[in-house]
Amino acid sequence: MTKRRPVKIIRPPSFSIAGFLRDFKGLWLYKDLLYTLSAHRVKVRYKQSVLGIAWAVLQPLSLMLIYTLVFAVFARIPTGGTPYPVMAFTGLLLWTLFSTALTSSTNGLVSHAHLVTKVYFPREILPLTYVVAALFDFAIAALLLAALMVYYHVAPTINLLYAIPIVLILTCFVTAMSLAFSALQVRFRDVGVAMPLLLQLWMFATPVVYPLSAVPQRFQSLYSLNPMVGVVDSFRTVVLNGTAPDLHGLGISAILSIVLLPACYIYFKHVEATLADVI
C-alpha cells in the first residue's frame, strides 16, 4: 500500500507541550468538520424562522432601540457628542457576538452527549462552531452599523482598520471563555443556569450601553481589568471618532486574551479525556 498511514498513540492523559501541539494538529485535521458544522449551525438557526437571517440584525437593533429609549430619551446620559443610538449599537454589536457565542457554546458539549459518547472528534470543535456562527451573525449585523454611520454622517477614517485586530482579540477572548465554560458545564450544570445572570452583570460592567467616560475615574483601573472594556471602547473609538484607540486599555484585553486562550484550551483538553465517562 502506497498510501501513508497516520499513526496514533493513545496514552493516559497527562500534560506536555508536545501533547498540546499534537492536540492542535489534531484539530487541524478536522478543519472540514469545523467548517461543515459551523455552516450548519447558521443554517439550522434560521431554517424554519420566517425572518431568517434578518434576526442577526434585529437582535442588536431592537436592543439599541430599547436602550436609546431608556438612556437617551428618559435618562439623557451624556455621550460626548456622538448620537446615542449609534454609540449603543457599536457596543451592542460586539456584545451580541460575545454573549451569543458564550451562551450557545456553554451548552455545546452537553447537548451533544449522544455524539460525544459514540464517536471521536476533537471536542473543542463543538464550542468553536458556535463562535464561528456568532461571528457570521456579527458580520451581517455590521452591515447595519455601516448603514447607521451613513445615516448619522459618521465618516470612516484610516483608523477603522484597527477594527480588524480588535475583533480578533475579541474572538480570542470569547473562544477562551467558550472552551472554559463548556467544559465546566459538563461537571457543574449550574454554569448554564447562571449564564444569563452572569452575562447581564457582565454587560453592565462593560461600556456597552453607556460610554467609558461615564465611569468615575477612581474605578477606571479596576474596571479595565475586564477584557471586554478595552475591546468595546477601542472599537467605538476607531469606528465613531475615527481616532487611534487607547492602546493601554486594548493592550490589557490583548494580553489577557492571549494568556487565557491556551490556558482554557489545556483545561478543556483535560476535561475531554474523561468527558464520555462523566457527561
Partner 1 sequence: MIDLSFNRVSKRYRIRHESEETASRHPLIRKWNALWTHPEDFWAVRDVSFDVERGEALGIIGHNGAGKSTILKLLSNITTPTAGEIRINGRLAALIEVGSGFHPELTGRENIYLNGAILGMARSEITKKLESIIEFAGVRQFIDTPVKRFSSGMYVRLGFSIAAHLEPDILLLDEVLAVGDASFQKKCLDRISELKEAGTTIVFISHDLRAVERLCQRVLLLKRGQIVMNGPAKEVIAAYQNDATLSSESVEVHKRGETKEVEIRTLSFLNDNGQMNPVFKTGKPLIARIDFDVHEAVNDAVFSVLLFTSDGESHCELTTEFSRDSLSLQRGKGSIEFRTDELGLLPGVYFTSVHVQQRGAQDVIHYQYKSTTLRVDFDRVVRGNFFLPHDWQVSQVESDEVVELEVQNK
Placement of cell 469606528 in the chain: 239
What type of residue sits at position 172? Answer: C
Candidates 22, 40, 196, 263; binder of partner 1 (CB under 8 A) is: 40
The closest alpha carbon to 154, from 232, 81, 72, 247, belongs to: 81
Piece in contact with partner 1 (CB under 8 A), picked from 42-50, 100-108, 156-164, 212-220: 42-50
How far apart are CB 270 and partner 1 at their closest, in Å?
11
- Looking from the CA of 233 toward its CB, the CA atoms found within 13 Å total 27
Piece in contact with partner 1 (CB under 8 A), picked from 39-47, 197-205, 216-224, 228-236: 39-47
Piece in contact with partner 1 (CB under 8 A), picked from 29-37, 95-103, 154-162, 210-218: 29-37
Q: Which residue, 113 or 263, has its beta carbon nearer to partner 1? A: 113
The SS3 assignment for 11 reads coil
Piece in contact with partner 1 (CB under 8 A), picked from 28-36, 79-87, 132-140, 248-256: 28-36
Candidates 28, 35, 151, 204; binder of partner 1 (CB under 8 A) is: 35
Candidates 19, 20, 23, 33; binder of partner 1 (CB under 8 A) is: 33
Q: Which residue, 120 or 204, has its beta carbon nearer to partner 1? A: 120
Q: Which residue, 30 or 152, has its beta carbon nearer to partner 1? A: 30
Q: Contacts with partner 1 in 88-127 (CB under 8 A)?
A: 114-121
The closest alpha carbon to 205, from 219, 190, 191, belongs to: 219
Q: Which triple of cell numbers denotes residue 28?
A: 487541524
The footprint of partner 1 on this chain (CB under 8 A) covers a number of residues equal to 34
Q: Contacts with partner 1 in 260-279 (CB under 8 A)?
A: 273-277
Q: Which residue, 118 or 218, has its beta carbon nearer to partner 1? A: 118
Query: Is residue 248 part of the contact set for partner 1 (CB under 8 A)?
Result: no
CB 233 within 8 A of CB 209: no
DSSP symbols for 180-246: HHHHHHHH-THHHHHHHHHHHHHHHTTTSSS-GGGS-GGGHHHHTTSHHHHHHHHHHIIIII-S---
Query: Is residue 153 part of the contact set for partner 1 (CB under 8 A)?
Result: no
How far apart are CB 35 and partner 1 at their closest, in Å?
7
How far apart are CB 10 and partner 1 at their closest, in Å?
4
How far apart are CB 82 and partner 1 at their closest, in Å?
41
136/106 Cα distance (integer angstroms): 18
Q: What angle do the packed helices 163-187 and 125-151 form, to 10 degrees?
A: 140
CA 102, 105, 109, 111 dihedral sign is positive
What is the CA angle 206-248-94, rounded to 5?
35
Q: Which triple of cell numbers denotes residue 66?
A: 430599547
256/258 Cα distance (integer angstroms): 6
Query: Is residue 9 part of the contact set for partner 1 (CB under 8 A)?
Result: yes
Which residue ranges make up the site for partner 1 (CB under 8 A)? 1, 5-13, 30, 32-33, 35-37, 40, 43-44, 47-48, 114-121, 273-277
